A and B are shown apart, each in its own frame.
Chain A
């Protein structure tokens, strides 16, 4: 029921001074779309998403037609330049319905989970929420149809 039980605790993060290319490679290598940005004391200062990176890129680069000048210009950009500062966060004590309603309200793909001191404790994405609700509802396990079968039988 609580976010602390469903979040990913081993969070892949990035430094604010890392380049945009480094962030892009990290996302691709780990097949993720959100990178929390933290200070050395684990305090969350931002989040960068695959969308932020795409928005920073010229169209020609997305099409692999970038000039050397465009590539060099982008290489100068750091995560701090494109990240969302002070992103919306949730607490490990939030319930799953809290997170579900808030993710719908804020229209984001993931929430960094922070403690009272603002230190990163995990991340909860839409995918994690889906998995959590599949588990809560038990719809991946046999037996779900028992009730409906027996009720249909008794209705006859």
Chain B
């Protein structure tokens, strides 16, 4: 059995999005309860949140954006940049804890304390651009972790795999000119889903051309289509790129029971995706796989999906 970390901290529940928002603290509770009910909690190494050092957030986001976020949040505003970015007075601090927790987990993996991990953090991050909050996201947790890995641990090639049903426009934008970070995303086709980016011909720019790959999935499609696209698009790309560390933007909103999309992934489909990622991690990254929570809003399904997810991280 692998040494799998589980970042879970009640302070992540403090980010209050109001009564009618899908990105609620109940998501983390449902995941925790699901993992516990499956009897997996004792096998995991439970990790607390850590507050991020500002310099890491600065490595991805503009200073003026960080200051603006702080000011808007601490002034008691309920939204930031877009009406769907609901927040409370604790959101800014919780976002620091999300980034810091993910960085701390990355450190533990690099130092050999953990083999891999699941970071159940809020707020999510993959829509957040350098100077723009979007889609419930404020700081781009995975992008900051990638920069941390490169600058602190000398990781040359970081692979990011994003299976949230929405394209991670923020992560793509941050790395699209960068050949040292390969961003792969599989998501509902942008003609039919937020945020409207992630078309298959978006392949990176400048030096980063060829280091971004998108697999849009049409509404109504599910397990077989995901399998086909991952086999044709992700596997050969990562076999060439040979990432030394894999960060997974894990979104469970493509589940057939999740109202947030028209994609029909089954629970078994999610397991196949994660098993495939673990094989990729073993091939080139020495098993160093860090999964970071993005979306997934079906509270009735999140417990089971999280349990399956960590079971695969533990080695089945």
* A-to-B contact residues, CB < 8 Å: 1, 93, 95-98, 101-102, 105
* B-to-A contact residues, CB < 8 Å: 189-192, 199-201, 218
A sample of 9 cross-chain residue pairs with beta-carbon separation below 8 angstroms, ordered by A number, consists of A1-B191, A95-B191, A95-B192, A97-B190, A98-B200, A98-B201, A101-B199, A101-B201, A102-B199
Report whether A105 and B201 are in contact in the complex, using a CB–CB cutoff of 8 Å: yes
Q: Which residue of A lies closest to B201 (CB)?
A: A102
A77 to B200, CA, bound (A): 36
Report whether B191 and A98 are in contact in the complex, using a CB–CB cutoff of 8 Å: yes
**Interface residue SS majority, chain A:** helix
- The contact of B189 among A95, A101, A102, A105, by CB within 8 Å, is A95
- The contact of A93 among B190, B199, B201, B218, by CB within 8 Å, is B218
Q: A98-B201, A101-B201, A102-B201 are in contact. List 12 more A-B contacts (CB 8 A).
A: A1-B191, A93-B218, A95-B189, A95-B192, A96-B191, A97-B191, A98-B191, A98-B199, A98-B200, A101-B199, A102-B199, A105-B201
Find chain B residues with CB under 8 A from A97 CB: 190-191
Nearest CB of A to B233, in Å: 13
Find chain A residues with CB under 8 A from B200 CB: 98
Find chain B residues with CB under 8 A from A102 CB: 199, 201
Nearest CB of A to B220, in Å: 12
Nearest CB of B to A85, in Å: 19
A33 to B108, CA, bound (A): 61
Find chain A residues with CB under 8 A from B199 CB: 98, 101-102
Nearest CB of B to A56, in Å: 29
A98 to B198, CA, bound (A): 10
A97 to B216, CA, bound (A): 13
Find chain A residues with CB under 8 A from B191 CB: 1, 95-98
A86 to B130, CA, bound (A): 37
A44 to B222, CA, bound (A): 30
Q: Which residue of A lies closest to B196 (CB)?
A: A97
Find chain A residues with CB under 8 A from B189 CB: 95
Find chain A residues with CB under 8 A from B192 CB: 95
Find chain A residues with CB under 8 A from B190 CB: 97
Nearest CB of B to A116, in Å: 10
Find chain A residues with CB under 8 A from B201 CB: 98, 101-102, 105
5 pairs of A and B residues whose beta carbons are closest in the complex: A95-B191, A97-B191, A102-B201, A98-B199, A101-B199
Nearest CB of A to B232, in Å: 10
A98 to B199, CA, bound (A): 7
A96 to B192, CA, bound (A): 12
A31 to B303, CA, bound (A): 61
Q: Which residue of B lies closest to A88 (CB)?
A: B201
Find chain B residues with CB under 8 A from A93 CB: 218
A97 to B191, CA, bound (A): 7
A102 to B199, CA, bound (A): 9
Q: Which residue of B lies closest to A101 (CB)?
A: B199
Nearest CB of A to B55, in Å: 36
Q: Which residue of A lies closest to B232 (CB)?
A: A116
A120 to B302, CA, bound (A): 44
A147 to B218, CA, bound (A): 32
